[in-house]
Structure 1
């Protein structure tokens, strides 16, 4: 009994768990799970490739820092910009958009356009949230690969044709 208690007390001090080192909190993926983090990284790579494929002459800026109030991508086509936020769900359920309000508040102040790309699920609740905050300056689409490129192109081009210009 005493040995078990000592082992439990000493294990955190020496930073060892069963079979490996503990990872400092700052190095852990900043997401709900490591599986979702890996999916999110892969999804961002696929979205970047799709943006380059659909708009080869556009400038694409990718925000590498994790923040809730900035979009993952800025796509600038013909002098007009559209922010693109990627969201990854590990299950095909509803996407409520609970992580979107800081970004929506910032974009509402800045007057920017936003396309939220969701890998799977039903985006109806998030669409309501975005239409409440941004009106016709934002939309949510499900994009899971090249088969959904026409939806992505239509969503971005619709926002680009609005009158406000962004550099």
Structure 2
């Protein structure tokens, strides 16, 4: 059936959106959205496996300035942002600046998990904004659990809260 309500489709001709970004599915396509949901579930399972006594909070709302997970281990927290790439190329981190700006102000620690690719450009961006309070790791399954554990523990071992 064709939508005949002019007020619904006319704004899209002039750059308007039908739905606000917060209600849009994660990712840029349905394939990437499904991959992102699956990846988040795998990351959640890995966090529960590696830190069974930890508290894990998952932000179910899509926003660019909040991390996907908060992992609290031994009373210390690490924000975890997951990123899904559909190709094995470079991960530049173009969607990270709003989150990095917020965490830079808050003084929190951040771990970015990427499912594949070379994270070198994003690593430089994270180091510039957060310094030693930020890390990026390629994690695509249990065979990368050692890297995940080392990155989280390094962030948790920081004794001072940075301003």
Stretches of structure 2 that go unaligned for 5 or more consecutive residues are 6-17
Runs of 4+ in 1 over 6 A off after TM superposition: none
Structure 1 counterpart of 2:124, from 108, 128, 132: 128
Equivalent position SS for 1:82: strand
Structure 2 counterpart of 1:92, from 88, 92, 95: 88
Equivalent position SS for 1:92: coil
Stretches of structure 1 that go unaligned for 5 or more consecutive residues are 1-9, 15-23
Aligned length: 147
TM-align CA RMSD = 1.6
**TM-score (normalizing by structure 2):** 0.86
Equivalent position SS for 2:2: helix
Structure 1 counterpart of 2:40, from 40, 44, 54: 44
Identify the residue that residue 13 of structure 2 maps to in structure 1.
none
Identify the residue that residue 13 of structure 1 maps to in structure 2.
4
**1:119 is aligned to 2:119:** no
**Cα pair distance change 1:38/1:11, threshold 3 Å:** same
CA distance in 2, matches of 1:85, 1:138: 11
Alignment of 1:153-164 (within 5 A): 153-164=149-160
CA distance in 2, matches of 1:13, 1:28: 23
CA deviation digits over 1:7-34, x for unaligned, max 9?
xxx83428xxxxxxxxx74665242100
State the Cα distance separating 1:67 from its structure 2 match. 0.5
**TM-score (normalizing by structure 1):** 0.84
Structure with higher Rg: it is: 1
Equivalent position SS for 2:4: helix
CA deviation digits over 1:135-159, x for unaligned, max 9?
0000110000000000000000000
Structure 2 counterpart of 1:58, from 33, 54, 57: 54
